[in-house]
Amino acid sequence: MKFTVDKQESYTTFSVLEPKLNSMVAPDLKTELILLSNNGVKNIILDMENVEFVDSSGISAMLVGNRLAQNENGTLPLVNIQDNVLRLLKISQLDSVFTIFSSVQEAKDYIMKLEFERALGIFSDDVEDEGEE
């Protein structure tokens, strides 16, 4: 699988450089996401700009990465998603499972906000719950 990794202090950007995230590529993605998680990376921006097609094994690898990030109090935002892939995520209702942004910068800003809130002991869910009472 062709990919690039850009490690920063608060996040890592993982860019998939393959046009298809299918059963031939998905196991490699899953392995790389597990390795990043095992090395202490909890916020992984998954850049899907080059991905034009995703099958069930690709979705499974993405879900594994999402679960690993959440287990470490992190996040795995998806960015630069092609229309075909976004349509599939919406049909399968996974657009409500994944955090999706149109650019890497939006995801970076989101992660920095989350990290700031965690440092202060503020959680977004707490703020939303307070407004519902």
For the segment 37-78, what is each residue's pLDDT rounded down to a tens digit? 999 999 999 999 999 999 999 999 999 999 999 999 999 999
Q: Is residue 12 within 8 Å of 108, Cβ to Cβ?
A: no
What's the confidence (pLDDT) of residue 124? 55
Q: How far is CA 77 from CA 15, 24, 63, 129, 132, in A?
A: 12, 23, 11, 23, 26
* Model pTM score: 0.88
Backbone angles phi, psi at 68, to 5 degrees: -60, -45
What's the confidence (pLDDT) of residue 38? 96
> For residues 59 and 65, what is the distance between their CA atoms, to the nearest angstrom?
10
Q: Is residue 44 within 8 Å of 78, Cβ to Cβ?
A: no
> For residues 55 and 85, what is the distance between their CA atoms, to the nearest angstrom?
9
CATH code for residues 3-132: 3.30.750.24
Q: How far is CA 128 from CA 58, 77, 133, in A?
A: 32, 20, 10
For the chain, the structural domain boundaries read 3-132
pLDDT band of residue 8 (cuts 50, 70, 90) is very high
> For residues 27 and 24, what is the distance between their CA atoms, to the nearest angstrom?
7
Element (H, E) at 76: none
For the segment 64-114, what is each residue's pLDDT rounded down to a tens digit? 999 999 999 999 999 999 999 999 999 999 999 999 999 999 999 999 999
